[in-house]
Structures are given as structure tokens and as C-alpha cells.
Structure 1
């Protein structure tokens, strides 16, 4: 069975969100993409108080200066499509009030006919936490736990009730309900985060870090699932952050998914051999506009399917 392919929606500065998101979403669905994805970046600190991903000295990419809200972007895509699933990779869960996030995702799932995939993570930016989170950065894991619990409660049968650290829901009817149980996928890089995934989530959202390294992570996660008695299969969606170049990248240190279309397709084929369910191809960073993004998305999709991905 072919690996499912998803496409990142245009959220960055070079795109007209109201016009380009529906157009790219429609085109991607027509091309054959199985899913459409968003990510979350709330702000761009100036000057930067910490490096990208919390790594000292690693600069933030300039495109993070202007990233459209993920849920607004998914809503625009939902209205323009009929089949493609609508995912987040990832929503930084602790930047959201748990009850309101649960209700927004349920409403989007009901409106789209059951197409939402809730990909959640804890994030890493202290500045985003200072601006938006209801609890400090140090409590991010506890906040993610509460978001997951509140989502399950709100999406479940009425009357809904919940008594948590932040969220207090007295017995109440909360609608609309999702069209079907919304899968929750987690980024889960650390051992503690992987235990949370195995025990409380439906799937995993890894990032393309190298085929061998990812294969080792996947084996460890499967071993942990067996150790903890999990019977439900772990859904997997790989995030491939592509850096497209019109000509082949010929440097000695080419990163995964860096280069022209044949090089990106070559990497898709290599990662496809790992047996993951789906690969999300994030192409939006380097195209100049929506037309170039659509053309590139079509070329990558056709190349991948021709290569047997």
C-alpha cells in the first residue's frame, strides 16, 4: 500500500491567506494529496532571547516572522475541500485554553465531516509562553496532559464534567460533537513524552532527522508500546521540512529533503521504506507565491507516485 502524502498549507508572509489557502487546498486535493497541514508559530522575538528549538546560537528562520493562525488556516481549507484530512503538526497545546481548543477542534471536525487530526506538542519558545500560555513553560508537560484530557471529555458524551488544574467543567452539555473520535497525535521526542503518547494518544508526529535515526526512534517507540501493553497501532505522520532549490543541491552536507524535486523524491522514497503511514511534505518556505507552490506540489506528488512512494 502506498504511503499517504500530505501537504503543508501556505501560512507565511509571501501568501495571501484568504485567497491562497483555499486555492492551494483545492489544488492539492485535486492533485491527489491525502491531507493538508498547518503548524503554529505565535511570534518572532526581537532580539531573540533563545535559539531556534531552544538551541543556543541557532537562528530563527526569517519566515517565522509572519505565520497565520493554524486553526483559521485549517478552517479556510476545510471550506474549500471535501476529502482531504485536516491536520496540525503541531499545535503548541499549552498556548491554548484547553476547553476552547477542544471546542474549536470539535466544531471544525463537525463542519468538515470528520476530517480533523489533532497534532499536539509542547513547543520550546519561552517568549511564546510568556505571551500566550496560561501556565509557565516549566509546566508544559502537565498542560499538555490536561489539554488531552479536556479534549477527550469535551468530545465525549454529555453531560461533560472535568476537574483539573486549570479547567473546571461543571456537568454541562457541550456541542457540537466531532463527527467521529478525533485522533490525537503527539510529537513526543523525549522518553517521558513517548510514554504519554503510548498511554494517551493515537499516533506519532516525528520529524525527518535522518533515515537510520528515525528508524531507531520508531523501533524504540514500538518496543515501549509493547512493554506498556498497548494494543492499538500507533498512527505515524512524518513531517518532511523541504528546502526546495530549482537546481540540484550539490553540497557535501545535504540535509534530508533539501534540493531539487528529484532529490526530494529520492528522500521520500527512502523514508517511505520505513513503513510509516503518511509523510507530510512542507514545501511552502521557498516558493515565491501560491502558483509556484502549487506547481511544485504537483511535481513532487507526481514524482513520488512514479517512484512508488
Structure 2
């Protein structure tokens, strides 16, 4: 069975939100992409207290200077498409009030006919937490736990009731309900996060760091699931942050998913061998505009399928 392929939607500053998101979404669905994805970046600090991913000295990408709201973006894509699943990779859960996030996702899924996939994470930016978080950075894992629990409650049968650290729902009718149970996927990089995934989530959403690294992480996750009595399979979606270039990248330090379409397809094939169900390719950071994004996405999809991915 071929690996499913998804495409990242154009959220970055070089794109026109109202024009380009529906256009790219419709085109990607017509090409054959089976899912469309958004990510969350709340702000771009002018003088950040930390580097990218919290790594000292690593600058934030220029594309982060203007990232459209993920749920607004996904709503535009939902209205423009009929079949493609609509995913978040990822929403930074502690930047959202749990009840409001649960209801927004339920409403979107109801409107889209049961196509939403909720990829959640805790994030890493202290600046984003200072601006928007519902609790301090140190409590991010606890907040993510509550977000998942509140979502399950709100998406479940009425009357809904819940008592938690942030949320109190007295027995109430909460609608609309999702068209079907929304799968919750987690990025889960730390040991604690992997335990949370196995115990509470429906699937895993890692970031591509090389096929060997991915294979080792997948093996460890399966072993942990067996230890904790979790029946597999989990749903699996790999995020591949691609850096496309018209010419092949010849440097000895070539990172996975960097280079020409042929090189990216080679990486797709290598990562597909690990056995995950789906790979999401995000090309938007390295294309000039929506027309180039669509052209590269179509070339990539055709080449990947021809290569057996």
C-alpha cells in the first residue's frame, strides 16, 4: 500500500491568505494529495530571548515573521475542498483555552464532514508563552493533558461535564459535535511526551530527522506501547519540512528533504520504508509564491508516485 501524501498550506508572509489558501488547497486535492496541513507560530520576536527550538544562536526563519492563524487557514481550506483531510501539525495546545479549542475543532469537523486531524504539541517559544499561554511554560505538559481531556469530553455525548485545573464544565449541552471522533496526534519527543502519547493519544506525528533516526524512534515507541499495554497500530504522520531548490544540493552536509525534487523524492522513499502511514511535505518556506508552490507540489507528487512512494 502506497504511503499517503499530504501538503502544507501556504501560511507564511509571502502568500495571500484569502486568495492563496483556497487556491492551493483545491489544486493539491486535484493533484491527489490526501491531506492538507497547517502549523502554528504565534509571533516573531524582534529580540528573542532564545533561538529556534530553544537552541542558543539558531535564528528564527524569516518566514516566521508572518504566519497566519492555523484554524482560520484550515477553515478556508475546508470550504474549498471535499475529500482531503485537514490537519494541524501542530497546534501549540497551551496557547489555547481548552474548551474554546475543543469547540472550534468540533465545529470545523462538523462543517467539513469529518475530515479534521488534531495534531497537538507543547511548543518551545518562551516569547509565545509570555504573550498567549494559559499557564506558565513549566506547566505545559499538564495543560496539554487537560486540553486532550477537555476535547474528549466536549466531543463526546451530552450532557458534558468536566472538572480540571483550568476548566470546569457543569453538565451542559455542547454542540455542534464532530462528524466523527477527531483523532488526536502528538509530536512527542521526550520520554514523558511519549508516555502521554501511548496513554492518551490516537497517533504519532514526528518531524523528519533522517530515516535511521525515525526508524529508531518508531521502534522505541512501539516497545513503550507494548510495555504499557497499548494495542497498535497508532495513526502515524511524518512531517517533512522541505527546502526545495531548482538545482540539486551537492554539499556534503545535505539535510533530509533539502534539494531538488528528485532529492526530496529519494528522501520520501527512504522515510516511507520505515512504515509510517503518511508523510506531510511542507514546501512553503522555499517557494516564492502560490504558483511556484503548486508547480513544485505537482512535480513532487507525480515523481513520488512514479518512484513507488
Question: Normalising TM by the smaller chain, what interval?
Answer: over 0.9
Alignment correspondent of 1:182: 182
In the superposition, the TM-score normalised over structure 1's length comes to: 0.99
Q: Give a deviation string over 1:50-108, Cα, whole Å, max 9, x none.
A: 01001111111111010000000000000000000000100000000000000000000
* Residues 127-179 of structure 1: CA deviation (Å, up to 9, x unaligned): 10110011000000000000000000000000000010010100000000000
Q: How does 1:14-29 map to 2 (within 5 A)?
A: 14-29=14-29
Match of 1:267 in 2: 267
Residues in 1 aligned to 2:233 and 2:71: alpha-carbon distance in whole angstroms: 27
SS in 1 for 2:119: strand
Deviation at 1:210, TM superposition (A): 1.1
Gaps of 5+ in 2: none
Aligned to 1:213: 213
Matches within 5 A, 1:88-167: 88-167=88-167
Residue 45 (structure 1) aligns with: 45
Q: Secondary structure at the match of 1:192?
A: helix
**CA distance in structure 2 between the partners assigned to 1:33 and 1:52 by the alignment:** 29
CA contact (8 A) 2:87 2:117 kept: yes
Measure, in 2, the Cα distance between the counterparts of 1:289 and 1:213. 32
Write the deviation string for residues 26-60 of structure 1: whole angstroms up to 9, x where unpaired: 00000000000000000011111101001111111
Match of 2:287 in 1: 287
The CA deviation at 1:232 is 3.9
Could you say what secondary structure the match of 1:271 adopts? helix
Partner of 1:168: 168
How big is each residue's C-alpha offset from its partner over 1:231-285, in whole Å with a ceiling of 9 and x where there is no partner?
Answer: 1411110000000011000001000000010000110011011110000000001
Q: Partners of 2:292 and 2:45 in 1: how far apart?
A: 29
Quote the offset at 1:188 in angstroms: 0.2
Separation (CA, whole Å) in 2 of partners of 1:12 and 1:230? 38
Matches within 5 A, 1:237-248: 237-248=237-248
- Larger mean Cα displacement after TM superposition, 228-237 or 135-144: 228-237
Aligned to 2:252: 252
For residue 66 of structure 1, what is the aligned residue in structure 2?
66
Alignment root-mean-square deviation, CA = 0.5
Aligned-pair CA distance for 1:14: 0.8
Give the aligned partner of residue 9 of structure 2: 9
Q: Which residue of 2 aligns with 1:36?
A: 36
Is the contact made by 2:225 and 2:232 (CA closer than 8 Å) also made in structure 1? no
Q: Is the Cα contact below 8 Å between 2:95 and 2:129 reproduced in 1?
A: yes
Matched residue SS, 1:89: strand
The TM-score, its normalising length taken from structure 2, stands at 0.99
Partner of 1:78: 78
Unaligned runs of at least 5 residues, structure 1: none
Mapped to 1, the partners of 2:183 and 2:265 lie a distance apart of: 28
